[in-house]
A = this chain, B = another copy of it.
């Protein structure tokens, strides 16, 4: 019995919540590998990934049975299996559309390149930007998208345009065959079925924090006044 067999029959549906955690396990495994740790238990992996052990075991069981009872998981092998499941056995070149503050930052951000997602193409519509380079990559015009995508073998598009331009950019990306899109514009974009879109709105994350800010105050539920902490005099209203 081959390790990857369950996948061969097609409908290996691993729960979305589990998929979302695999990259975290992978990050931990890479870290363990770099410290020459050879085996890891579900408990230890759980601690490092910030979840509980049963969840780790269940999640990993969707990929197959790679653990050794009484021992744990082989770090290198598990890393291979997780990477394979995620489709990370090779790099995925990405394109960034929109080179404002956020787009430029993402282009310069080493975190993508370092982790299997080289930024290979950039597009914008601003004539002042087109033709220049950002992070060593030339900026093309949005109208040239088809050629650029084909030449650079782009599979994933990142949208970092203003909200108003996002839908048009997404439509063009889909039209030229991009099937995976990471959208940073604060708007919900729609696409045909078969295209995966993930939305990351940085301000949304802060707003959720704002909600929990008040609930987790240990003492009272009221607008806090806690010894040692003075929240400042923010009496700004409106907005």
Mark A residues whose CB is within 8 Å of B.
2-4, 8, 10, 19-20, 22-24, 26-28, 30, 33-34, 48-50, 76-77, 79-81, 83-94, 101-102, 104-106, 108-112, 114-117, 150, 152-156, 177, 179-182, 186-188, 190, 194-196, 198, 200-214, 216-218, 221, 224-239
- Set of chain B residues within 8 Å of A106, measured between Cβ atoms: 105, 202
The smallest C-beta distance from A63 to any residue of chain B, in angstroms, reads: 11
User: Which 4 A/B pairs are nearest by Cβ-Cβ distance?
Assistant: A153-B232, A105-B105, A50-B188, A23-B207
Additional pairs, 13, CB under 8 Å, beyond known A23-B204, A33-B234, A49-B188: A19-B211, A26-B207, A27-B201, A80-B235, A87-B224, A89-B237, A106-B202, A109-B202, A112-B203, A115-B237, A115-B238, A116-B239, A181-B209
Interface contact B210-A182, CB-CB below 8 Å? no
The smallest C-beta distance from A5 to any residue of chain B, in angstroms, reads: 9
Interface contact B205-A200, CB-CB below 8 Å? yes
Interface contact B76-A232, CB-CB below 8 Å? yes
CA distance A89 to B195 in the complex (A): 37
CA distance A144 to B153 in the complex (A): 47
- Set of chain B residues within 8 Å of A234, measured between Cβ atoms: 33, 76, 79-80, 83, 90-93, 153
The smallest C-beta distance from A47 to any residue of chain B, in angstroms, reads: 9
- Of the A-B pairs whose beta carbons lie under 8 Å apart in the complex, a sample of 22, sorted by A's number, is A4-B227, A20-B204, A20-B208, A24-B204, A77-B231, A80-B235, A84-B225, A86-B207, A87-B211, A88-B239, A92-B206, A101-B108, A116-B203, A116-B237, A153-B233, A155-B213, A155-B231, A156-B213, A177-B226, A179-B213, A196-B212, A196-B213
